[in-house]
Chains A and B, each alone.
Chain A
Amino acid sequence: MLFNSVSFAIFLPIVFILYWSSTNRSLRFQNILLLISSYFFYASWDWRFLFLLVFSTSLDYFTGIKIYEALNRKKRLFWLWLSIIINIGFLGAFKYYNFFASSFAEGLSLLGFKANLSSLQVILPVGISFYTFHGLSYVLDLYKKKIKPERDFITYSVFVSFFPLLVAGPIERATHLLPQLRMKREFNYSKATDGLRQILWGLFKKIVIADNCAGYANTIFNNSIEFNGSTVLIGALFFTVQIYCDFSGYSDIALGTARLFNIELLRNFAFPYFSRDIAEFWRRWHISLSSWFKDYLYIPLGGSKGNTWMKIRNTFIIFLVSGFWHGANWTFIIWGLLNALYIMPSIVFNTHRNNIDIVAKGKQLPSVRDFLSIALTFSLTVLAWIFFRAATVHDAFSILSKIFSSSLFMIPHFPGIRNTVPILLMTGIFFLIEWFGREQQYPLANLGIKWNRPLRYSMYYAILIAIFWFGGQEQQFIYFQF
């Protein structure tokens, strides 16, 4: 059930009405309804994997209690490692088995041995990377005594499987979400309308911008051999826009949907393409994952304490793991390592926290220096996305070799896709709205709030019409595959 599908358009109002009309008498009813609807939502992908989700939830629920009740550190460590090993074991089996098997066989063949490791036809359970990280953050927080265990199984299960965040995040923290699930929610009119606005903006990003850019990006990346350097570069630019609008659009819909139930989720994007350096980019891109790695990997490794070499080592580990988290392919690993290289100068010269504030705060336009920094950061990001999108490392290098060749100066062409001009125009308008709304949580949050109703409604209608009329060929959300 995709967020942009008819099934979801039917499912969401039903759950919303039931939630606020029938089950709002007690907290327990509210959570039971959220759990049933979340499991229904998940089962609509593939009901068989529901057992895996329930198992993972139960495992972390019980090990969490055991960690808390253990009398000594040794026992606490035992239960923690049990949870980590089983969780990572499942993730590894479903997501990485074929990668390791084929890489191992290739490695042996390079040494002259012949290995015949059978690859499995494994279907990746939707959202496994996300709910595994949910569970892990919970047991790690318990181990560090940041939180107390949740004794109510229903509440804990909703924390893991709340449907807006179940398949592609944001990766929530127990410290943030569990307290909200322990309190009865009351209907809040302004939050509900705000949620709808964020859903509308998310749908616009996904259906109009991302899905249309996907048309170009897919054609160009899948047939890159046939195109000149300038067209391939445009393909990379389209993918850069696509992945941002696809994933942040998804996050907007997730956050907006949760807000309809008076639940606040963690913000996942903060206008990353307006970043002035790579460190800032990573503070603004997929925030819930970046902060997860920071809290549960980078800091335990020593973080930015210690000498420069330690910092460099830790940064490389974080980006390597982050790349690998995205998928079992060398392309993701190189993408991660490339980002580690990008960020390295700021680690070495200790400038990685130079750009903490919002760019050109309170101003209409950025300074020349900021503009050039944004342009440079954006360009580096575009090059890195080529590895993320390409099917193989070889493909990525052949695309790069095209871009850095004389054919970069040839006239590009837009292969057989209709509505090019309106799409480019709308992408331009989209970035303008993002720029002027960059001080809000999402650009539409305050836009037109003070306008009179007809004008405000006209804007919403215009967005609805654009979604309906200019929507691209439906594409699955990119992050669902992770």
Chain B
Amino acid sequence: MKLFLKKLFAFLVIPFALSLVTGFVLIAYNSNSINYKLGDGITGIFLGDSHVRCSLNDSLMPNRKNVSGNSESLYFSYYKLEKLLDENQNIKIVYLGFSYHSLSNYYDDFITGNFSNSVSPMYFYTLPSKERLKMFYWNREKLFSYVKELLSTGYKSTLNESPADFTGGYSNVFTNTMALDTSMDKRIKFQYYSKNKLNNFSEINLLYFYKILNLCKTKHIELILLKTPLHTYYEKRVPAEYVSRYNEIVTENKLKIIDFANITFSDSCFLPDGEHLSVKGADQVTKEFL
């Protein structure tokens, strides 16, 4: 048995050591090499998740930059914002994507749960060391594939294949879509309910929402909440508890908010889920901004 274990150890020690060294090198390299500079002319940024990402075409807005990313929870947004504000002293205004769904704990899955494995590697190199250790812990059941994703993300970044992934950006390829009732029902169910019970509010997202508020206050940055357009069918089905909690947060903190409730968006401005915008919808929202 000893011979067996010895040989097995000798066989495994090489790839294990190599992976370990490569991992450390990539983490160290990427942590210091990500470029968060957005350009001197940028004075305002759009921060948030895919809703913001597909809604605001920043190429039409000279002083603004859309830095939102897919499935980006406020937890990741906070650490990204910290870095961006450190590197870009000209930023004076932050538009933060914040809607009803941001309150739901379904978002926790993207940080600590099942989807963390596919979402968090993109933000891993932006996180401080303590949070990185937490990420390993949260992904402990899928550690091999998590490390693989980290190495893959780090490797691509090292080769400069996809540097924009760390900071996000406007992205929308949906030109021929329509809001669909069935998809909207599905979406509502996914975001606000699990096993037919109403989801709790996300403690992590709320904690980091307030951290973002404080960060902006400390750095004298104007924070404006951005509630991207929702299809009326979808909006009517958002649970009342979420609507009232949302309104409470906005009024209690005396926050400025941009929403598009008074503007009509046709069905073709949306993706089938009724809460993401198509290119047509994004054009309309961007024009409103201009």
Contacts and interface: CB of A to CB of B under 8 A. Distances in A.
A118 interface: no
Contacts of A349: none
Contacts of A187: 1, 4
B4 A6 contact: no
Q: Which 10 A-B pairs have the closest CB atoms?
A: A6-B143, A20-B1, A187-B1, A192-B4, A189-B4, A474-B142, A5-B141, A468-B148, A474-B145, A6-B140
B190 to A, nearest CB: 14
Contacts of B144: 6, 468, 471
Given A460-B11, A464-B15, A471-B144, 14 more contacts: A5-B141, A5-B142, A6-B142, A6-B143, A17-B5, A20-B1, A187-B1, A189-B3, A192-B4, A465-B15, A468-B144, A469-B152, A471-B145, A473-B118
Interface residues of A, number: 21
Interface string A450-482: 000000010011001100110101100000000
A193 B142 contact: no
B1 A196 contact: no
Interface in B76-128: 117-118
B8 interface: yes
Interface string A306-331: 00000000000000000000000000
B48 to A, nearest CB: 23
A465 B152 CA distance: 13
Nearest to A472: B145
Contacts of B15: 461, 464-465
Contacts of B145: 471, 473-474
A5 B148 CA distance: 14
Interface in A184-220: 187, 189, 192-193, 196
A350 interface: no
Nearest to B195: A121
Interface string B1-45: 101110010010001000100000000000000000000000000
A72 interface: no
A471 B149 CA distance: 10
Nearest to B5: A17
Interface residue SS majority, chain A = helix
Interface residues of B, number: 18
Nearest to A17: B5
A7 interface: yes
Contacts of B5: 17
Contacts, number: 36
Interface of B: 1, 3-5, 8, 11, 15, 19, 117-118, 140-145, 148, 152
B118 A469 contact: no
Contacts of B148: 468-469, 471
A460 B7 CA distance: 13
A457 B11 contact: yes
B122 to A, nearest CB: 14
A264 B117 CA distance: 36
Nearest to A189: B4
Nearest to B140: A6
B142 A21 contact: no
A448 to B, nearest CB: 14
Interface in A272-303: none
Interface string A1-23: 00001110000000001001100
B265 to A, nearest CB: 24
A346 B144 CA distance: 47
B8 A196 contact: yes
Contact of B4 (A193, A460, A473): A193
Contacts of B143: 6
24 contacts: A5-B142, A6-B140, A6-B141, A6-B142, A6-B144, A7-B141, A17-B5, A20-B1, A187-B1, A189-B4, A192-B4, A196-B8, A457-B11, A460-B11, A461-B15, A464-B15, A468-B144, A469-B148, A471-B145, A473-B118, A473-B145, A474-B117, A474-B142, A474-B145
A457 B7 CA distance: 11
Contacts of B142: 5-6, 474
A20 B1 CA distance: 7
A471 B148 CA distance: 9
Contacts of A7: 141
The residue in B117, B140, B142, B145 that gathers the most chain A C-beta atoms within 10 A of its C-beta is B145
Contacts of A460: 11
A149 B141 CA distance: 40
A45 to B, nearest CB: 13
A7 B144 CA distance: 11
Contacts of A474: 117, 142, 145
Contacts of B11: 457, 460
Contacts of B3: 189
A465 B144 CA distance: 12
A473 B143 CA distance: 12
A458 to B, nearest CB: 11
A474 B117 CA distance: 10
Contacts of B152: 469
Nearest to A471: B145
A151 to B, nearest CB: 31
Contacts of A189: 3-4
A403 B140 CA distance: 42
A298 B19 CA distance: 53
Nearest to B14: A461
Interface in A389-406: none
Contacts of A17: 5
A457 B142 CA distance: 26
B141 A21 contact: no
Nearest to B114: A474
Contacts of A196: 8
B1 to A, nearest CB: 5
Contacts of B19: 468
A21 B1 contact: yes
B14 to A, nearest CB: 8
Nearest to A470: B148
A202 to B, nearest CB: 15
A457 B260 CA distance: 62
B258 to A, nearest CB: 32
The residue in A6, A189, A469 that gathers the most chain B C-beta atoms within 10 A of its C-beta is A6
A1 to B, nearest CB: 9
B7 to A, nearest CB: 8
